[in-house]
Structures are given as C-alpha cells and as structure tokens.
C-alpha cells in the first residue's frame, strides 16, 4: 500500500513482583484481637507474566498528515493477590492471609491517532483510545478484605480501578520567528467505583458504576527578545485553563465528590457545630483535581 505501513508485535514478558509483596510483615506480627489477623508477604512469589500483542496500520494521508490505527491486548497472569483460602492458626483459631499469585487480568483496546507534523509554523495531533481493562481484583488484598468484612471474594472479572473506557488527547503548537504557543487538551470518561451495598452482592457491584468524566486543558506561550548575542525568553504556563474541578474521588452512596447522603442524615440530627459545620466536614478537597495554576517566568540565554 503506497504511503502505508502495517506494524505488528507480540511478546511474552515477566516482571519481578513488588518487593513490599515479598517482604510484607516479615516478623509475622498479627493482631489477635480480630478473626482475620492480617496479611503476610510471600518471598516465593513467581514473576508476573504478560502476553502482549498489537497490530496496526499507519497511513499517510498527505505530505504532513498521518493516520495510525492500532488494536492491542495484554493478557496478565500471576498477579499478586489474596484469593487463596486463609491460613488458620490452630492454637488460637485465628486466620491470616498470605500473598499469592492468584489474580489475573485482560486489557483490550483500539487507538486511533491523527497527527500533522510541524510544517508551515504549526503542528497538531488528536488521538482516541477505547479500552476495556478487567481483572479478578484491582487490589492484591481485595479478596482478603472481602472475607474480613463478611462478604464473598469476587468470582468473576470486574473493571480495574484505572479502567478508562474512552480517552481523547489533542495538541496544537505554533511557533513563529520570535513567539509561539501550545495547547494540550485531555478528556477521559469516568473511572469505575464500587457503590455502597446493603447486602452481599459483591459480584454485581464491584466497580460497577462510573465517576464523572475528566476534562482538562493546559496552555503555554513564550516570547523571545534578542539583545545582541544574548536572548531573553518570557514564558507563561496555564494549567487547567477553565478551572474545572474534576471529580477524581466520589462518595460511594451518591457517586459524586461533593455530596453524600450521610450529610443529610447528619444535618437532620441537629448536631452541635463548634469548629466546623456539617457541610465543611463533608467537603473533601482531595476528591477534586488541582484548580487553575498559572506560572510566569523567564529564561536568559548567553
């Protein structure tokens, strides 16, 4: 195909487990006040294995415009987890969990990318990713925590905590003889979260709901001033131009960052509010992304 390239890759990869999983609680210090006394590391963990493959097409649409379409998959095995049965301490009838290679995952996706190389003083690009990432557990201790809370561990693959179905990135850059600017935009559909449950239907609810979408736009501009053999460059960087507070963490009963049904219950009880109001108590700044930030500076070259 004239102006086109087909690319393909396939490979088997192994990765050493995180050392904290190998040596977690090496002294076997257990809290015997609880039925599930804790989690112990496993120095005999096997390496995590990933089978990765992709196939794609790069097609030149014009002298400076390129289209790239790529489909990929990641088959991940021997992930660290605690899905195995608890180990019982027979002398006191307590139980503890041990890290094992019990979890697995599968990631599949398609990427469409359109780019214009730097010609005529500007360049631009936009890419879209559709991805589905599922695993038996997102957290290595998820199965143990479920058993400790009186629930059943997962018996099916669910969306990973970082699974973002739709992602769009775009850039635009312009550079003149003495000034220029660039803009970067990002959009992402909501990450999954687990809604609050009132009975044990874990397999149906784990990461079954989506948080609000993510949107962010950054920009940078500069201006050069020449003074003989030296140059002064003034620059301006603006992060999150539209000052959007993206909801990166949410309450599990409402799916929103700024409101919980617990707040309504607390307000109805007419509590004594001395230092903080009920509304302030339920306002958590870590639930939101960073607000607008502006940086102004200069670079002097000689």
Element (H, E) at 197: none
More confident: 35 or 170 = 170
Q: What is the dihedral of CA 31, 35, 38, 43, to 10 degrees?
A: 120
Tell me what percent of the residues of the chain surpass a pLDDT of 70: 89
d(CA 116, CA 122): 9
Contact 203, 156 (CB under 8 A): yes
In which band, very low, low, confident or very high, does the pLDDT at 203 lie, cut at 50, 70 and 90? very low
Output the pLDDT for position 201: 53
Tell me what percent of the residues of the chain surpass a pLDDT of 90: 47
Burial of 170 (0-12, 13-18, 19+ CB in 10 A): middle
Tell me the pLDDT tens digit for each residue of 102-130: 889 999 999 999 999 999 899 999 999 99
Contact 2, 61 (CB under 8 A): no
CB count within 10 Å of CB 278 equals 18
pLDDT at 276 over 80: no
d(CA 74, CA 11): 10
Q: DSSP letters of 202-254?
A: HHHHTT-EEPPPEEEEEEEEEEEEEETTEEEEEEEEEESTT----B-S--TTT
Non-local CB neighbours of 262 within 8 Å, separated by 6+ positions:
251, 253, 282
Predicted TM-score (pTM) of the model is 0.80
Q: Which long-range contacts (CB under 8 A, 24 or more apart) does 186-189 make?
A: 186/214, 186/215, 186/216, 186/217, 187/213, 187/214, 187/215, 188/164, 188/213, 188/214, 188/215, 189/164, 189/165, 189/213, 189/214
Looking at the DSSP bridge assignments, the partners of residue 71 are 55, 110
CB count within 10 Å of CB 269 equals 7
Contact 257, 206 (CB under 8 A): no
Output the pLDDT for position 73: 96
* Cα–Cα distance list, 108 to 56, 82, 85, 251, 252 (Å): 14, 25, 30, 29, 27
Domain spans of the chain?
A: 4-163
Share the mean pLDDT of the chain: 86
CB count within 10 Å of CB 216 equals 17
Element (H, E) at 45: none
Tell me the pLDDT tens digit for each residue of 234-246: 999 999 999 999 9
Tell me the pLDDT tens digit for each residue of 78-91: 988 886 677 777 65
Tell me the pLDDT tens digit for each residue of 145-182: 777 666 666 667 888 888 999 999 999 999 988 999 99
Contact 96, 30 (CB under 8 A): yes
């Amino acid at each position: 195909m004239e102006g086109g390239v087909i690319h393909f890759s396939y490979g088997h990869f192994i990765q050493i487990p995180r050392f904290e999983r190998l040596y977690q609680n090496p002294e076997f210090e257990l809290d015997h006040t609880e039925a599930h006394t804790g989690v112990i590391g496993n120095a005999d963990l096997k390496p995590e294995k990933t089978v990765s493959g992709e196939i794609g097409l790069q097609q030149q649409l014009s002298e400076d415009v390129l289209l790239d379409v790529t489909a990929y998959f990641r088959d991940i095995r021997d992930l660290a987890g605690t899905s195995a049965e608890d180990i019982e301490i027979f002398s006191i009838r307590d139980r503890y969990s041990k890290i094992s290679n019990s979890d697995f995952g599968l990631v599949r996706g398609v990427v469409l990318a359109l780019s214009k190389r730097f010609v005529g003083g500007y360049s631009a690009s936009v890419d879209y990713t559709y991805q589905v990432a599922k695993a038996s557990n997102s957290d290595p201790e998820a199965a143990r925590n479920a058993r400790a809370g009186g629930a059943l561990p997962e018996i099916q693959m669910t969306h990973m905590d970082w699974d973002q179905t739709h992602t769009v990135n775009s850039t635009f850059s312009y550079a003149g003889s003495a000034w220029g600017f660039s803009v970067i935009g990002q959009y992402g559909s909501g990450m999954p979260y687990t809604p609050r449950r009132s009975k044990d239907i874990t397999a149906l609810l784990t990461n079954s709901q989506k948080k609000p979408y993510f949107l962010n736009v950054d920009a940078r501009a500069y201006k050069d001033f020449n003074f003989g053999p030296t140059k002064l460059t003034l620059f301006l960087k603006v992060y999150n131009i539209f000052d959007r507070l993206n909801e990166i963490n949410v309450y599990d009963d409402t799916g929103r960052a700024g409101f919980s049904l617990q707040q309504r219950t607390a307000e109805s009880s007419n509590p004594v509010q001395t230092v903080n109001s009920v509304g302030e108590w339920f306002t958590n700044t870590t639930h939101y992304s960073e607000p607008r930030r502006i940086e102004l500076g200069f670079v002097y070259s000689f």
